[in-house]
Amino acid sequence: MFRNLAKIGRSASFSQAPQNLKTSTVHLQPVRAMSALPNYKFETLKVTSPKEFVYEVTLNRPDALNSMNKEFWYEVPACFNQISTDTNCRAVVITGSGRLFTAGLDLSSIAEVVAFEEDEDVARRSMKIMPTIRDFQKTFTAIEKCNKPVIAAIHNACIGGGVDLITSCDIRYCTKDAFFQIKEVDIGLAADVGTLQRLPKIVGNDSLVRELVYTARRFQSDEALSFGLVSRVFPNRDACVSGAIEMAELIASKSPVAVTGSKVNMVYSRDHGVQEGLDFIAVWNQGMLQSEDVMKAAMASMQKETPKFSKL
């Protein structure tokens, strides 16, 4: 399988003829021109802070349709692990630069990403590939494990690995022109970095998920909204990104103790039974109920004031 993919990779377009990419037709860049945060230095991502306590992580390879190359797979977890403990951030928005959100795996990078000696024994080759798959799974798990809620703002195409990415986010918004495709079967793969595991839990319709996975058929924003993959649809990219940032700002105004606790417990409860989930939150809250945030929030609510919470 990967041997064939590696051959495709050697002849795919981005590595050989990036100048041919059709990126000039529609450029929907944000109206806001924001400078990157100096302590977040990545090749494939740009991190900015559009509002206090809100970070925007932009997939930043517009000329390659934000496709996922080797650097991307390692930069995403580095970025989200850093954000997870960054006390200046309480909510994150993921956006795509250029004309679409992401084209998924960079087909021209496959040979570099999955490197092995062709004449090597199958077991030895397999054992070399396994750690790469595990690493790539960690890429999107880092978003799910990030202590801050993450909102995906999707415009135009969200293909293959893009669906893996957005299903690891907490909230998904998209534009009216957005379309999605679980594309992996079309390149001879069973999706292996999260879609098959997370999507059924998000949409609660196993029959539909299987249909989308087995056929790789495209579906549009209205269908994505109808079965709950996204919760809001906006007329265009600017409106979508602004809506996501506004929601992130609202989340960031709440107690970071309460929001982080809610995220950690929702992820835990998705993967465990009701009683285990109740046990987990009981242990969690035996500590967190002692937080100053509880008293602050309750007092502010009674006095009809807006509480201000300290950094975590």
Ligand X SMILES: CCC/C=C/C=C/C(=O)SCCNC(=O)CCNC(=O)[C@H](O)C(C)(C)COP(=O)(O)OP(=O)(O)OC[C@H]1O[C@@H](n2cnc3c(N)ncnc32)[C@H](O)[C@@H]1OP(=O)(O)O
Q: How many residues bind ligand X (CB under 6 A)?
A: 26
- In the DSSP assignment, the letter for residue 13 is H
**What x/- string results for residues 52 through 91 when contact with ligand X is judged by CB under 6 A?**
-------------x-x------------------------
Q: Does 19 bind ligand X (CB under 6 A)?
A: no
Q: Does 108 bind ligand X (CB under 6 A)?
A: yes
Count of residues making up the chain? 312
Q: Which stretch binds ligand X (CB under 6 A): 46-54, 98-106, 166-174, 288-296?
A: 98-106
Q: What is the arrangement of strands in the sheet containing 219-220, beginning at the earlier edge strand?
A: 157-159, 179-181, 219-220
Rounded least distance, CB 252 to ligand X, Å:
31
Q: Which residue has the tokens 């975590």?
A: 312
**Structure tokens of 223?**
């269908």
Report yes or no: 240 and 172 within 8 Å, Cβ to Cβ. Answer: no
The residue from 45, 54, 83, 107 that contacts ligand X (CB under 6 A) is 107
Rounded least distance, CB 184 to ligand X, Å:
5
Distance (Å, rounded) from C-alpha 305 to C-alpha 187?
55
The residue from 28, 57, 105, 224 that contacts ligand X (CB under 6 A) is 105
Q: Does 136 bind ligand X (CB under 6 A)?
A: yes
The residue from 92, 93, 103, 213 that contacts ligand X (CB under 6 A) is 103
Region of residue 24 (left: phi > 0; alpha: psi -120 to 50; beta: else) = alpha
The residue sitting closest to ligand X, measured at its beta carbon, is 160
DSSP 139-152: HHHHHHHSSS-EEE
The residue from 17, 115, 266, 299 that contacts ligand X (CB under 6 A) is 17
E strands, the chain, are 45-51, 54-59, 91-96, 150-154, 157-159, 171-175, 179-181, 219-220, 232-234
Nearer to ligand X, 136 or 173 (CB): 136
Nearer to ligand X, 75 or 106 (CB): 106
Residues β-bridged to residue 105: 68
